[in-house]
Amino acid sequence: MSINIENPKAIALNERGARTAVALGLQVTIGKPAEFLDEHWTSGQPLVLVMALPIVVRLLARRTLLKSEDPVIVVVDESGQFIISVLGGHKGANRLASELAKRGGGAAVITTPSDYSSVAAIDGLTGFIAQGDIAKLIESMLEGATPAIRKDIAWPSPIKFSHGDGPAKIVISDRISALESSASLSVQLIPPSLVVGVGCSSEASVEDVSNLISMACLKHDLDPRAISLMATVDTRASHPSLRGQNIPLLSFRSEELAAVAAPNPSDEVNFYVGTPSVCEAAALLASGSSELLVPKTKNAVATVAIARRQARGHLRLVGLGPGTPMLRTPAAVQALANSEIVIGYSPYVDQCQELLSSHQLVIRSPIGEESERAGRAIRYALEGRPVALVCSGDPEVYAMASISLEKLEALHEKLQTSPYPGLIDLSVVPGITAGLGGGALLGAPLGHDHAYISLSDLLTPWRTVEKRLRAFGEADVVTVIYNPKSQGRKWQLPRAIEILASYRPSSTPVAIVKNVGRAGQQKKIYTIADFDSADADMTSLVIVGSATTRRFGDYILTPRGYEI
C-alpha cells in the first residue's frame, strides 16, 4: 500500500497545545476537534490531535470505524512528551508518531505487535493492498510460523518473505476470486498490476467511465484496486470524466496509438481520432504488454480495455538534510515510507532510523563504497522494487545522484536501450544542504552569488581544485568549502585560504560550522587574517566571504545591493 504521512493536518484545543504543534513543525489550528474530524475524516490526510487521549477516545467512540477506511490519527499530549499512534498504524500513524517524537524529543507510543517485533506488518507492505485474515496471519507469524507464498501473477514477492511451510498462506494476485480456493488462514496481496485504457466521447461523465471500468473488472474477475494507471489519447487527457477517476493518467498521440496492433480496430474511430484504436492500443502501450486481459468493452459514451503490466522499479535518491528531523522535508519522509528497500552509508541510515519498518530491507554500507551502493540500489530497482538510496544533505551536492545517474547511463549504453522511458523510474528528492544549513546558522553569508567546492582530491586532481579556487577568488564570490580536512588531508585547507586571501581583503569574514543540524552544532567566525585551520575537522564546513561580505555581531551577511 502507498503510505501518505506528508503534510498532516493538526488541531489543538488551546494556545499551549498549538505552541507544541508548531514546535513539532506542524501547521495547526485551534478549534473544536469534533468539527475537525468531520471535515477531514475522508480527506486522506494524516490527522494530529494535540490534546488528552481520553478526549479523542470519546470522539472516536461516536464514529463508525472501519480499518480499511479509517484515517491516520496521532494524538500528542499538550506538553509534547507523548506521541501516540491511535488509528492507521500500518498506514502511516506509527511512522508519523516516530517522526514527531524524533523532532521534539518525546516518546512515540506504538502498540501494534509487528512494530515492536521483527515481524513485518502484512497490511503495511510497500506496493500492496492486503485483504483477508490479516490479524490472524500476523499472530501466527508472531508465534514463529512462516506463511507459504502463492504467486498467481509474475510480480516480486515482498523482500522480507521467503516461501514458508504454512499452514497460513499469502496469495499475490489481482484476481477477485484469489482467496476462494485458499486455506482459511490466508491473505491476498493485491499489487498495482493493472492498466486500463479508456476512450470516451465529449459527453461522458465520471460515473459513465467508472461504472464501465467496474463492470469490465467484475466480468473478468479482476480487482479494480489493482489498477495503477489509466491511459488514453492526448485529445482526451484533460476530459473531466477521466480526470475524475483519481487514477494517474498517461496520454499518447494518435500516431503512437495507431502504430499498435489492437485486436478490435475501428474505421470510425480512425476517421475521427486518427487511430483505429484508443482504449486497446492505450492499454497495450502503457502496460508494455502484448496481450489484453479485457478486450474493448463499451457503453454508449466510453470504451475500456485492461492489460497487466510488469512490476517497474522506482529508485528514489533521497536527501535527508543536514541532521535534525526538523530540517528533513515531508517529501523525504514520504519517499522512505513508500520504499521497500532502503540503502545508504550507515550514519545516514541511522539518521532516519525512526522512519524505517520491519517489512523493509535496510542495507547499511561503509564509507567509500558509493559506486557499489548505487549499483546495488539499481539492481534491486531492476527487479521491480521501490528503492530509496539515502544521503545527508542533498543528493545532488557531492552525494549519490550523479554516480547513480552515471551508472544508469552506462547500463543503457551497454544494453543499447533508450533512456525514455528507461529501465526504471527515477526520482531525486532534494534536501537541505550542509551549505544552506551552515549559512542559516551564520545569518546570510550566501545572500549573493556563491560557489561550492570540495577539497577532497580523491576524485578531483588538486591542480583542478586550485584552478577553481583561483577562479572563485577572481570572480569574488562567497565560497563554501566541503570536505575541508580529514585524517590524511590537512594541508589543503590552509592552501585554499591562502589562494582566496590573495583576492580578498584581510578583514573578509571566514566561518567554520560544525555538525550542522546534529548534536554538537557550533559556529566560529574569523577573518582571513586570523583564520585557524586547526579548528576544522571532518564534520566541518568552511564559508569564505567575498569582498562585500561583512560581520554583524554573531552573524555574517553578504548584501544583495538593496538600498537601505
> So where are the chain's domains?
9-111, 122-190, 194-308, 314-432, 435-557
Please state, in angstroms and as integers, the Cα–Cα distance from residue 221 to each residue in 208, 240, 460, following that order. Answer: 20, 27, 59
The pLDDT confidence band at residue 183, using thresholds 50, 70 and 90, is: low
* 136-174 residue pLDDT tens: 888 888 888 888 899 999 999 999 886 778 788 899 999
* 90-123 residue pLDDT tens: 888 998 999 999 999 999 999 887 766 667 778 8
Query: Sign (positive/negative) of CA torsion 240, 241, 244, 249?
Result: negative
Question: Which pLDDT score, from 0 to 100, does residue 117 have?
Answer: 67
Judged against a pLDDT cut of 80, whether residue 20 lies above it is answered with yes
Q: Which CATH code for domain 314-432?
A: 3.40.1010.10
Q: Which CATH code for domain 9-111?
A: 3.40.50.11220
Cβ-Cβ contacts under 8 Å for 256 (sequence gap 6 or more): 285
Please return the burial class of 149, using the count of CB atoms within 10 Å of its CB with bins 0-12, 13-18 and 19+.
middle
Separation between Cα atoms, residue 451 and residue 474, nearest integer Å: 12
Cell, residue 292: 489484453
Separation between Cα atoms, residue 559 and residue 545, nearest integer Å: 11
* 267-307 residue pLDDT tens: 999 999 999 999 999 999 999 999 999 999 999 999 999 99
Cβ-Cβ contacts under 8 Å for 411 (sequence gap 6 or more): 378, 423
Separation between Cα atoms, residue 204 and residue 208, nearest integer Å: 6
Separation between Cα atoms, residue 139 and residue 284, nearest integer Å: 41
Check: CB of residue 323 under 8 Å from CB of residue 391.
no
DSSP for 78-146, written as a single string: TTSSEEEEEE-GGGTHHHHHHHHHHHHT-EEE---GGGSSS---GGG-TT-EEEESHHHHHHHHHTT--
Average pLDDT, the chain: 93
* Parallel/antiparallel/unpaired status of strands 425-429 and 314-319: parallel
Check: CB of residue 364 under 8 Å from CB of residue 296.
no
Domain covering 194-308: architecture:
2-Layer Sandwich (3.30)
Helix count and strand count (H, E) for the chain: 17, 28
Separation between Cα atoms, residue 234 and residue 488, nearest integer Å: 58
- Helix H or strand E segment including 311: none
Check: CB of residue 322 under 8 Å from CB of residue 393.
yes
Fold observed for domain 435-557: 3.30.950
Cβ-Cβ contacts under 8 Å for 262 (sequence gap 6 or more): 276, 277, 280, 281, 284, 296
